[in-house]
Structure 1
Amino acid sequence: METALIVLIVIVALALIFDFINGFHDTANAIATSVATKVLTPQQAIAMAAVLNVVGALTGTAVAKTVSKDIIAPEFATLGLVAAALISAVVWNLFTWWKGLPSSSSHALIFSMVGAGVAAGGWATVIPKGVIKTLQGLLYSPLLGFVTPIILMTLLSWLVLRWMKPRAVTRNFRILQILSAAFMAYSHGRNDAQKTMGIITFALSAYFGSQIDIIPHWVIYACATAMGLGTATGGWRIIKTMGFKVVDLKPVDGFVAETSAALIIDGASSLGIPVSTTHTISSAIMGVGTTKGFRKVKWQVAGKIVQAWVFTIPTCIVLGWVVHKAILLAGGN
């Protein structure tokens, strides 16, 4: 078996490992609120999220095409570059999971690609259009994630909640929150699994020496399965941070946060914009919290989450650069 093919197989395996880690790292995105409000047990929530992550991952490839074609210029695609990006993203994901910080797996992968690309051929390797699209998603998704639940909660308060007894609100929104958690899990799979599809397709383009425009079916199914399996293992450290440490949540709060975040993520997926499900749902939880009163949000914990967001981009650019340089020194390409 030729060396390049062996390297490709290793890269595909590494990409699926990243997807698996993404699954358990970002499980909290879909289920933290429903677990915190005790609408679902952790086991029920994880099982539901695992299934719907897979379903979401099978429903489109717009984000995957952005990652495979619009971040690094195809002429600079090498297996070493892809390997460096994946190693960097995996290291950062595991570090933030260990610390219990809900950082963005998506931006870890994309900006690790940027760092590895710069190491390979300078800034000319980076395609501004794709990076700008990613940065726009990075900026707008948390802003919308913060504002949308405030608007939705205000509307619910005027149209529904003020006419219902507290017990009825809790009873009805316990049911609705199961649906919103399912929607959140589906939208997470639809956006996040596609990034790994994109990086594998990028590696295939590097191996065959020509750009692949259509995501292969086996790549779609493999990534969907890897994310589902990862989600099934859970991510309790981050679930505790997002579900219990930012703001005290009730079923109506969880419904509003999940519905708002899922709508934003699903819209971004349709437009091919890689967004952070972590940023979006975290912002939505904070937005819901502010409707209870500014002091109800535990801003010290929220600040630590924001720090993880801020550090992800420069850290992963540097990590991608360093890992790729190490691969080049070791004789890779």
Structure 2
Amino acid sequence: MHQPDHVIRRAELPAPSQPNLRLPRPDDDRLLFGRVNWLQLRDGLSLHCSDCEELQDFVTENVVGPRLSFVLFLDGQSEVSYDGLSLTLGHPARRRSPEGVALAMNEPVLFRRHARRGQHIRKLVVSLTPEWFDRCDGGAGGGAVRQFMQSHLAPRVWKPSARLLTLAEQMLNPPDYDPLLERLYLESRALDIACEALGSLGDAPTESTAGLRPHEQQRVRRLTDLLDSGAADGWTLECIAREMGVNANTLQRQFRAVRGTTVFEYLRARRLTQARQALERDGASVTEAAWLAGYNSPANFATAFKRQFGISPRQIRARL
């Protein structure tokens, strides 16, 4: 997967997608520029990663077998359909924070995706087949997970944690390992994505909601919306807690129970993501991006940025 940016042409698509590729100009098969990969990490577990720009409008079609797919869009938007189900995955630039979508398919379906020229896509798709679950201690258990597996084309949305977004960035920019270690690195993170997505479906207490009453969970959702809006940038924890109507220690405990991170770790991750977008989309300098992320020192910013994304700000700039 560790590869330089390049033009992806028709021949690099997975074999099932090539025959049904529809192009406005059949003589031009330049589809994408960046990094795209489709990996079979092991039997029943596959990973698709994209960090690329769509070079033209085109449509791909292929038949997808039974599976659970977990789609995580970091940037960009795609129009897709599964048989009669049409979905818009991702979000317009600068409008919303990343979302994940979980989808079960109990029978083969026709998958269709519409690419749009100029759209920059950064996404991960983790897929698990029923056979993979069968090998995991005889099946997928019961409760909400089993119920979801038995649903068909009934998408569920979940909001990925700050930790999971960090793992996703690491998967898009993995260390320069040898192929075996890289696959182990990617597999562990792919399973983390699947685990968090499935955990969000649970009707029993999970790590993200255990011990919290409904109004406390609602408070954390309101706090997350506040943090995502940027309105609380520069506030102290005590100011944020007053806004939420609770003391700081209680707020921190409840937020950590749901989001898996502290309030300020979440804020830092969000501002680093904004800084990355400024580097990639707006051509900001490293100093400007550091200021946007709240760092007076570009060196400290570079250290935090690489810890978050697995790549330095200067490497991001060099790819433009």
TM-score by length of 2: 0.23
TM-score by length of 1: 0.23
Greater fraction of residues in strand: 2
